[in-house]
Structure 1
Amino acid sequence: MTRIKPLSLAVATACSFIAGMPATAQQANAADTEGQVASVVVTATRGAKAVDKIPGAVTVIGQQDLAAQYQIADDPSQALATFVPGYSPSRQKMSSTGESLRGRQPLILLDGIPQSNPLRAGMREGYFADSAIIERIEVISGASAVQGMGATGGIINYITKSPRVNGTTVGLNARASTQFRSDNLDWKTGVTVTHKTDAFDMLGYASVQRRGMSYDGRGRRLGIDTVQGDTLDTRGHDLFLKLGKSFGDQRIQLTVNRFDLGGEGDYRNQRGDLAAGVPTSSVPGTPEGEPTKNEVRSVSLDYRHANLAGGAFTAQLFKHDFEALYGATNAVTFQDARIAPVNALYDQSHIVADKVGSRITWVRPDTVVPGLELTLGLDMLRDHTLQRLAVTDRTWVPELKFQSTAPFAQLEYEFGNFTVRGGVRRERAKLEVDTYTTLAFYRNTQVEGGSAKSTKSVKNLGAVWRFAPQWSVFAGSSEGFGLPDAGLLLRGVNSPNQSVSSLVNLQPIVTRNNEVGINWRGERGQVGLSRYDSRSKLGSVIRIVPAGNGVIGIVERVPTVVKGWEVSGDWRPTRDWSVFGSYARTDGKTAASQGAPLDLALGARSQGPNKAVLGTNWRLLAGAQLRLQATHLFDRDINIGRRVGTSNLEEHFVGYTLVDLSSSFDTPYGRFGAGIENLFDKQYVGYYSQSAAALDAGNTYAGRGRTLALTWSRMF
C-alpha cells in the first residue's frame, strides 16, 4: 500500500485545490500589467495557434519560469520535471535513460530541428544547447505526428531567443554554484550580442562552463557515471548565431548552433554497498579510456512568407550532426579473444547520427468558407546513424540509412464557440543497411545487407468548446509513430544466414492518445483537468537480461497502455503573490509477450512515479522576486515476484519531497539572483537508481544535497 508522508499529503492536497490547466505551465508570469492573462500562442503545432483552440494538453514554460528554475539547477530535464506534469524525474546525469513523458518517449526539437535519435536511441539527446539561449519551451503532451516520427509521448520544442527591440546591445551573464567543498564549484559565463533594425536582426552568444563534483545530503561525494555519461566533472561551451532579414511579407533566417559537453576524466566510479544502503560514490582517479562527451552541430535556414496565395508559407532546411562518446568498459559484449585476453579489453561506444531534412508548411485561413483553415505540408528526412567501438574501430551497429517522405493535410473549422480540427499524415519510410559482421560476443556473424520499407497513415481529430466565458472543454484523439530501435536489434544477431531484410521489421510503433479535459482561464488564475488513454498495439519495451559478467538490453515488441490524469495551474490573489501547482498520475501496463494479458506495470526505464508540485511566487518589491517550490514523488512498488525469462521486473521506490528556493533582484548594476536547490538538504536516492538499477552497486546514485547558486546578468 502506498504510504503518504505528512508533507507529501500537504503538497498533493494543495495541488488538488489549485488544479490547473494542462494548456499552461505556471503562467503567473503570463499576466500583463493589468492582471489579465496574456494570450499564449504555440508554434509547435506547425502554425501559430492559441492554446485555447488546441484540443489537447499543452505546456508553455516562459522565460521568467525558466530563469527562476535555472537559478536553482542548470539542468534542462529538471526544468521539464518541474513544469510538465507527466515528465518523469531528472536523472541529474548526461544520460537521460529513464526520462519519459507520460510513459513514452518525446520528440525533442530545437527551433523545429529534431534532436532525438530514434534509430539508435543512446539516451544522450537531453544536452544539445546552452540553457541561456532558450526563450521558452513548448510541450505538447500525448502522441503526435505533426512534427514527424518519435513523438509517441509528445513534442518538446525549445525556442531560442531573438532580438526584441531596435538597436545594439551587449549582455553578460554569469552563474556559479557550490556546496562549499574544494572540488565542487560549478561556473558558467556567457556573452550575448544583439542588433536589430526594422529589416535586419542578429543574435550571437558564446559561453564557457565548468562543472565540478557534487555531494549528497550526508556530505558524501556523488557517484559519477563514467560510462553512460555524467554532468559531474565536465567542461562545455556553446556558440550560437541567429541572423534574420525581413522584406515586406517575407523573412529569411539562418541559425547555427555548436555545442560541446565533455568529461574532464578526474574521477572514478566507486561502487556502493547495497546491503548497507550505501549508494555509489566517486574517488579521484583517471578512468579507463577517453572521457564521455556530446558534440552537437545544428544549422537551419528558414523562409517565411506571410501572404503567399492567401496563406502563410514556411520552409525550413536543416542539418543536424550529433556525436556521443560513452566511457570505456570491459563489458562482456566488447570482449574478443583475438584482440586481448577475455575481460582485459576495454572499449568505448560511439554513436554518430547525421540528419538532413526539410519541412514545408502552408496555412490558409478562410478556405472556401469563412472560418475554415487549411494546412498542407511536406516533410523529408535523411538520417544516417551508426554505432562503433572507438578504441578498436569495430562495427557494433552498422550504418542505418533511413529516408522518409511525409505529406500531411489538416482542416480546422471555427464556428462560434466551437473549434473542430482533423488531419492525416502519410509516412513513407525506407531503411537500408550494408552487409556487416557482428561482434565476437555475437559469434562474429555476417549479416547480409538489405532494406526494409513501411508506409503508414496517422490521423488526429479533436474539438474545443468554449461553453462559457473563461471556460472550455476539449476532446481529442491523435496518433504518433516511432520505429523500434533497429540498431539494438541488428547488433545482437548471433545466428548465420540472416539478412537485414528479414530481421528488421519497420512496422512502426503507432500510439493513439485519446484525451478529454476541462479548462478555466480567468483574470487571476487558471484551473483545469485532463484525462488520457494512450495505447500501442505493437510497442517497444527494452528488458535487461544477464549476460556473462554483465547485462544486455533486448527489445520486445509487445502492446503497451498508459492511462493517467493531470492537473496544473496557478492562482494570483494579488499582483505581488501567486501560487502554482500540478499533480500527475500515470499508470502504464504491458504484456510479457504478444497475446499475453496486460498485467505488467511499466518499469522505471519507461515510466515515472506519480508526482506533485506546489510553489509560490512573491514580488517583495519592484524588481525583486522570490520563489519557493516543493516537488514530491510518490512511492511505487510494482511487478512483485514477476519475471520474463531471465529478466527480473520487480521494482521498489520510496518517494521523497524536495524543496527549492530562488530569488532575483534588479539593480543599476544588473540583475542578481540566488537559488538554493534541496533547501532542507534531503538525503535521497533517485527514482531510476532505486527502481531499475537497485541491484547494481555501481549505478545507485544519490541526488544532490543543498546547493547554493548565484547568478548575475546585465545588458549594455
Structure 2
Amino acid sequence: MAGPLPLPHAVALACMALAQVPARAQEAPVAEVVVTATRNAKSVDRIPGAVTVVSQRELETQYLLADDPSSALATYIPGYSPSRQKISSTGETLRGRLPLILLDGVPQSNPLRAGMREGYFADTAIIERIEVINGASAIQGMGATGGIVNYITKTPRLEGTTYAVHARLATGFRHDNLDWKTGFSVSHKSGEFDLFGYASVQRRGMAYDGDGRMIGIDALQGDTLDAGGHDVFLKLGRNFGDQRLQLTVNRFNFRGDLDYRTVNADFAQGTPTSSVPGRPPGNPARNDVRTVSLDYRHGALLGGSFSTQVFSQDFTALYGGSNTITFQDPRLAPPGRLFDQSEINADKYGAKVTWVRPDLLLRGLEWTLGLDHLRDRSGQRMALTNRTWVPTLDFTSTAPFLQLEYDAGPVTVRGGVRRESARLRVDTYTTLWAYGGFQVGGGERSFDKAVKNIGAVWRFAPGWSAFLSSSEGFGLPDVGLVLRGVNRPAQSVDDLFELQPVITRNQEIGVNWRGAHGSAGASFYDSRSKLGTVMRINAEGFGVMDRVPTTVRGWEVAGEWRPAPGYSLFGTYARTMGKTAASPGAPMDLALGARSQGPDKLVLGADWQPVARARLRLQATRLADRDINIGRSAGPINLEEHFRGYTLADIAGTWDTRLGRFGLGIENVADRQYIGYFPQSINLRDPLSYFAGRGRTFTASYTRSF
C-alpha cells in the first residue's frame, strides 16, 4: 500500500482548499449546477453525496490530448483509476468498484457478462457533459456498486440552423503514427422543434512510447491502435407546451485493421510488449453498438412532472483470436492447434417511468415515484467454432421505487427505497473442454431485495454545505464468468452459491464550498459488501472469481481557485484503500489488487485565458507507488503486486477566430517512458500485454461553424 501523501503535495492541496464538487470549470462561478442522473433535475447542493459534472469545455480540452472517454474520467474524477489507453477497460474502476455507465439514461454496461469493452459506445463529439454520482446507488438500476457515470448528449440551445465541420489529427511524427477523425454536425432549433445530427469517420494508427518503441497491440482483448470506426447520431425533439417528445438514435462501430502483430515483452531486458508489421490470424476485434431511446416528458401532470423512457441497446464485442489453452478441444484439433475467438452479445430492452410531485401532503415534501423494467439477454460464444462459452443469460427485472425529499430551511433530507425483483433464466449447457466439458443443468434464480438510501445536506453558511449519506447498490456477480468456469460435475444453475447478488453499502460524509473565486471541499467514504466479488488469475491464466467480503475506504479532495479573471488553479487528490479476504471467513487483511482499484492519484493544473478568445491549460498527474500483499497468496494464486509510480504532464490550448476554432494539445510533454498501472501491477505478468504508455503526442483540431 502506498505511503502517506508527501508533505509538499499535502501543503499544495491544503492551500488550494480542494473540493469534491462539480462546479470547477463553470463559466459562471456561483451559478447553480443541476444534474439529472438522480432521475429528476436537482441542484448539487441538495444532493447528499459526492457528485461531479464534467463540462463540455473540460471535455473538449481533454479530447485534445486523448480522444478517450476513460482518460477524461481519470483526469476529472478523483476516484477513477488510471486509463488503460486500450479499448479494454479491465482494471478501470470508480472507488474500487464498477460504475454503471449510461448514455442519456440508457444502460451501456453489461453486468451479466462484463467483457470490459463497454467504454467505447459513442463518439466523444456528441457528448455535452458527463454526470458522475460517486458511491453505490440503485436509483438507475442494477450494476452501480461503484457509482453512476451518465453521458449526456448534445441538444440545440439557440434558434436557427448551424452546420459544423470537425477535424482532429494526432501524431508523434513517426511511421504510421497518424490518428485522424472528421465529422459533420447539424444543429437546428425552430420554435418548438429541435434537431441535432452528427456523423463521423476515424482512423487510428500506431503509437510509440517514450523510448521511441512501437507500443504493443492487445491482440486478445482488442485495441484502439491500428483501428478505425464511424458513428451516426440523431436526436429529434418536439415541445408541446409543458410536454416534450424526443427520439435519440446512435450507431457506433469500431474495429481493428489487422496490420500489426504483437511482439512479446522481454522481462529480463526490461523491454515492454511491442508490435511489428504483419497480419495476425483471425477476424478483427470490434465493438458494434446501437442505442435507441424514446423519451416523453410532461411538466405539469397532476401537479408534478412526469417522464418516461423506452429504450433498446444492442451490443456486440468480438475479441481477438488466439490458441490459448482455454479454447482447446482435442475433438476439434490437436492440443495447442485450435485457434478461436470469442464474441459477447448483449441485447437490452427496457422502460423507465418517473413522477415527481412537490408539496404533496406536506409543504416542502417532494415525492418521486417510479417504476423500471429491464430485459437483458447476454451470452458469449466462440465465433469461429460456434461453441457456447457462456449460455444465453435471460434476465428480467422490475423495480418500483419511492424517493422522498424534505426541505426545512437550510437542511434537505432525502431518503428512499427501491424494490428489485429480478429473475435469471439459463438453459442447460456444456462448458468448454478446458474446464472439463461438464454439462451444467439449467434453471431459474430469483432475486428480491429492497435497497435503501438516506442522507441530509446542511447549508450552514453562504456557499458552504455539509452532507452525510448512506446508500446501497444492487448488482450481480459476473454471471457469465461464473457459469463458463464451472469445472465440477453435477452442477446446476439453481444451486450455484456464486450467483448470489452483491449488495454494496456506501456511507459518506463531506463538506463543500462554492464562491465567486473558486470551490473547495472534501469527502470520506466507507463502502462495504459482505458478499463481494474478487477476480483473480491463476497460474494457468484462468480467471477465478472468489465470493469474499470487500471493503473500500477512501477520501477525496478537489477544487479550484480563481485569483483573477482569466486565471484558475485546480486539483484533485484521491486515496483509495481496499481490503478483502483470501477466502470466505478469513481475515480481511489483503489489499485489493489492480483489477479492483487504482493507486493514490494527484492531479494539479492551471487554466489561463490570455485574451478573450484563447485558452491555455497545463495539467500534471501523479500516480503514487503501490506495493501490496507481499508474500501473500490465495491458495495457489500469488497476490503480490508492485507498481512504480510516475508523473505525466500535458498542455492544451484553443483559439477562436473568425475562421473557426483551432486547438493544439501535447500529451506527455516530457516524453516520459513508463509502463501503465495495470500491466505493471498485475501479479501474473503476460509478455503479450506488458504495455508501455504513449510518449509525447501532438494533436491539432479544427472546428468551423456556418
Pick the TM interval, shorter chain.
over 0.9
Structure-1 separation of matches of 2:108 and 2:228:
21
Structure-1 separation of matches of 2:100 and 2:10:
29
Q: How does 1:172-321 map to 2 (within 5 A)?
A: 172-321=165-314
One of 489, 494, 505 as aligned partner of 2:482: 489
SS in 2 for 1:546: coil
What displacement does 1:20 show? 2.5
Structure-1 separation of matches of 2:185 and 2:287:
23
What displacement does 1:16 show? 3.4
1:649 — aligned with what? 639
What displacement does 1:695 show? 2.2
2:494 — aligned with what? 501
1:538 — aligned with what? 531
Counting aligned pairs with the same residue, the percent is: 65
CA deviation string 1:276-316 (max 9, x = no partner): 21111111111120111100000000000001101110100
Q: Does 1:699 align with 2:689?
A: yes
Structure-1 separation of matches of 2:8 and 2:231:
41
Structure-1 separation of matches of 2:570 and 2:148:
23
What displacement does 1:2 show? 5.0
One of 26, 31, 36 as aligned partner of 2:27: 31
Structure-1 separation of matches of 2:163 and 2:9:
42
1:100 — aligned with what? 93
One of 644, 652, 667 as aligned partner of 1:662: 652
* Unaligned 5+ runs, structure 1: none
Letter in 1 for 2:508: E
Kept in 1, the 8 Å contact 2:639–2:683? The answer is: no
Structure-1 separation of matches of 2:98 and 2:365:
33
Structure-1 separation of matches of 2:316 and 2:159:
38
What displacement does 1:497 show? 2.3
What displacement does 1:449 show? 1.3
1:680 — aligned with what? 670
Structure-1 separation of matches of 2:169 and 2:272:
27
Q: How does 1:219-618 map to 2 (within 5 A)?
A: 219-503=212-496, 505-547=498-540, 551-618=541-608
What displacement does 1:694 show? 6.0
SS in 2 for 1:91: coil
SS in 2 for 1:571: strand
2:70 — aligned with what? 77
Kept in 1, the 8 Å contact 2:136–2:471? The answer is: yes
SS in 1 for 2:391: strand
One of 123, 126, 129 as aligned partner of 2:122: 129
Letter in 1 for 2:197: G
1:625 — aligned with what? 615
1:20 — aligned with what? 18
Structure-2 separation of matches of 1:182 and 1:639:
42
Kept in 2, the 8 Å contact 1:227–1:326? The answer is: yes
Kept in 2, the 8 Å contact 1:590–1:602? The answer is: yes
Letter in 1 for 2:212: G
Structure-1 separation of matches of 2:389 and 2:396:
21
Structure-2 separation of matches of 1:675 and 1:249:
43
Structure-2 separation of matches of 1:206 and 1:45:
30
Kept in 2, the 8 Å contact 1:417–1:467? The answer is: yes
CA deviation string 1:422-443 (max 9, x = no partner): 0000001100011111111122
Letter in 2 for 1:625: R
1:636 — aligned with what? 626
Letter in 1 for 2:164: G
Kept in 2, the 8 Å contact 1:272–1:700? The answer is: yes
SS in 2 for 1:193: strand
Kept in 2, the 8 Å contact 1:235–1:264? The answer is: yes
Kept in 1, the 8 Å contact 2:2–2:599? The answer is: no
SS in 1 for 2:610: strand
Kept in 2, the 8 Å contact 1:270–1:281? The answer is: yes
Task: Call closer, same or farther: CA 1:654–1:694 in 2, change over 3 Å.
Answer: farther
CA deviation string 1:39-84 (max 9, x = no partner): 1000000010000111000010001111110011101000000000
SS in 2 for 1:489: helix
Comparing 60-69 with 501-510, greater Cα deviation is found at 501-510
Structure-1 separation of matches of 2:676 and 2:384:
32
Letter in 2 for 1:260: N
Task: Call closer, same or farther: CA 1:584–1:53 in 2, change over 3 Å.
Answer: same
Letter in 2 for 1:460: N
* Unaligned 5+ runs, structure 2: none
Kept in 2, the 8 Å contact 1:274–1:695? The answer is: no
CA deviation string 1:212-232 (max 9, x = no partner): 000001101101101111100
Structure-1 separation of matches of 2:210 and 2:175:
17
CA deviation string 1:638-691 (max 9, x = no partner): 000001111110000000000000000011100000000001101110000110
What displacement does 1:343 show? 0.3
What displacement does 1:502 show? 1.4
Comparing 608-617 with 16-25, greater Cα deviation is found at 16-25
Letter in 2 for 1:371: G
Kept in 2, the 8 Å contact 1:19–1:583? The answer is: no
Letter in 1 for 2:664: A
Task: Call closer, same or farther: CA 1:238–1:12 in 2, change over 3 Å.
Answer: farther
Structure-2 separation of matches of 1:509 and 1:615:
38
Structure-1 separation of matches of 2:662 and 2:283:
38
SS in 1 for 2:609: strand
Kept in 2, the 8 Å contact 1:351–1:386? The answer is: yes
CA RMSD of aligned residues (A): 1.3
What displacement does 1:444 show? 2.0
Q: How many residues align?
A: 706
CA deviation string 1:234-280 (max 9, x = no partner): 01100000000110100000000000110000011111111221111
SS in 2 for 1:65: helix
Kept in 2, the 8 Å contact 1:529–1:568? The answer is: yes
SS in 2 for 1:620: coil
Letter in 1 for 2:626: R
